[in-house]
Structure 1
Amino acid sequence: SKKATKMPARAVSSKLVTILALGFLPAGCVADQDKASQAVQNPCQGARYLKLLADKLTAAYADKGTAAQNAAKAEFAYAIAAAKSTDQKTQIALKALQTVTAAQIPTLVTQTVSYNENLAKARETMKIHEALQMAEHMKATKKITMAGAKHGNADTSHQGTSGISTCKTEVKVTYSAQNCSLDSSTDAVSLGNVDEQNTDKIVLSTTDDQHGILTVTALSKGTVTGTLQASSNTEGACITGGADFDGASNQANALFSKVEPKAHTFKNTAIPLSKEGDSSKCPDDATQSVGHQYKHTTLAGAICNTRKAKPATFTPLHRQELNQLVSNTQLIQALADLDNPGAEVPTGEAAKQTLVHKFFGATPEIFKQRITDTIDKTKIDIKIRNTPIEKTPFDLAGTADGVTVLVYYLGKAEAAKAQLSDSQEKLKQSENTEKRR
């Protein structure tokens, strides 16, 4: 009789656990820009947009290892069904599916890891530019503080002019960022307005390069004589005692300077997410140039490539068409070796078809009944250690019950082999005894 190799339950189980733990961490462009990016008018909004875009791209495109997980699940299901089957041809068919699927898993894992690594690099690039936008926001924010005023009554001279009254204060300019929320917003730069799959350009904002400019305005009212004192309500102002600014009264005598920072202006730049002149390609990125990660083309390329990348895919062999199996080289080799180890592997189309039809059935209907339904529809109804189990092999795969069922059927097969071996040994001993007589 022909023997087919078996995969130990522990190996199947450990491999599936590894794949299930993998959970890691494309669309074309249209001539449009999402509403959130359209609304960017300053660096704070630019930083928020990039943060929201990175979050949505990660959620939309992250590959959680579904292909590899499904492959491991299918392999486990084939092992269970093969162990349960008592038909040799069906066993060989299922073990061939198991062998070929097992060979696919490492490639699927590698593809998934590589895909997610590229997505992580794209997210890192977006985070770099988010930080650059925040730096622009910090640069544009100034705060003025003034110390309490000191009044001098007609005791100062300036370039030949004497008897000048003064109101002296110290002015301090600090750069203190206003609150810039990256998580939520009441304006249009919000999560719901980010179209991460279709927008063809994004907007970044920069602050002008002018140095801090202060506007100084000297203000006076009334007759600046007598004894004035520092205002307790308006820093840098001198007022008549008992007549401080209160927001309602019109005071008679005051002398002060008003200092204000000149507001920065912003330049908003649209960054195309496709190559100039060819919207089907991503922008070129001079990855070897110094500081390339800070360039707009690098950011655009990272976003574009993320949307074009294809995650790993997997369709279980038992759910494919019968004619697809005929063209599967690995499956043909597995069938040939399981059927007749060491024999030549069929190469002609007719020979390959004959081999596949021998084990999987000559028509799609037979293939569905013999293989597809066995995995997906036919429930295994059994009680093991007083625990009833009633599930299909595919539903059992990757579960504790699945391991129990697989080991149970493998154990039964081993017990049957041992019993057969014992009976053959007894028969041989009996024959030897007869010969000695």
Structure 2
Amino acid sequence: MLDDEKYPIAVFPEGTSYQPEEKIASPVTGSDTLPPDYKTANMTTREAGHNFTDPKVDQSQTNGFAEAQLPERQSKRPWRKSPAILLLIALTFVIVGFGIAAAFYVHSRSVVSQTPNALSELSTDSIVQNNTRASMASSGLFLNDKSTWNMQTYWQTPTGDIKRQFSLDGQTFSAETNVSLQINPRIGSPLAATASTDKTGIVYLTLFYLSEQNEIVISGAACPAGSSTCSPTFNNVISSQLDLPPSNQTGLAAVNVNDAQDWRVYFHDIRGMLTEVGGNASGFGSGTVVGSAALNKSSIAATNVNSTTNNINVFYVDAKTQFLTTIEFVNGTWTIPGSVTPRKQLAWNALAGLSACYTKTLDQLHVYYTAGDQGIYEFLGTNVSTSKTTWGVRPGRNHVWSTADYPSADISAVGWQDQARFFQITQGKIIEGSLDNTTWTEAFIKLSQT
């Protein structure tokens, strides 16, 4: 044994047994400090990973010992390398994965009952987006006598044609006719419509849609008062001057302002931002972002609750929250976007067809949509004229409202005084929901007998 009087190092003479290093006593009593050469004192070249060759001795020697004299210590395999444990972990992940998948499947298959207060818990990820299949739009106005309500309803057929029906008295409808268009609409285009009149009593109808090139197009028609026979006036692209083109999956909504042929059209630009473009028969502008980013493929609804002062309410689906979101143009400026309801899942479908209307006498905003369970629901806002609209905590559903043919089906609405109407294609026909003050009825549209 060599002793440098500070760190004694044990050397095993030939013939002695090997002692594991765990049994080597610490050289300093009460201290855990080990000498710098502690770890390599009894290592073979294989254990150390390189050759500790003394240049003063023969190259065949390694620290004075032959490799054969130092058998390798059997190391204990780490638990993470044990095949049995790894197999158990893998099986656990598989079982948990199947459980989560089964839960999502059951969740997506659940449906709401047909009671007014029943609420679905559907995830928007499981909902098929069909809000531009059989898309619809509606418009309405009082004639110059201030008492006769005139309505127009539009819808797109599976072949891409757009049809229109009139209700000249707010009760019965005339036979359907084709809307004459020079610019072909895209199949599955969203639709928006407005109506206005002038001092002579002529009714001016306007329809907005997307072309086959995804351009926003306006189509105009002029109709004598009390007549469903109209003459086309123009059919033009209005999106050519936009700073940013519309998204390929944009929604579409429009209102007229100042009770004239002066329009505001709402869409998602190519980035998804809610954008307004304004114009008249002379042309349209470059567009202005007015809201936050909207959810791709979602709808837009808009209504002007007071065309004289231009109090415009726009509804869309925020891309981040997927909540129904509203902005309002009041006193010459837009409000900050706000959620209509703070609850995402209750009977709400972020990819539903949307429509909105205002009932002046009731001072209410009605926002209709089709949920994933195919039921029609309504967000109801009160005290609208005060610019402090109060929304219900959750959407409602009247027991007389039928179900749509498929989830997310498009829907349109108009309102006046204490009356509201919504329209939807059901079973190949137009179903009309009618609110008369506080009483709801529903029926297929009855055609006039003339």
* TM-score normalised according to structure 1 size: 0.22
Which structure has more helix as a fraction of its residues? 1
**Which structure has the higher relative contact order (CA within 8 Å, separation 6+)?**
1
Larger Rg: 1
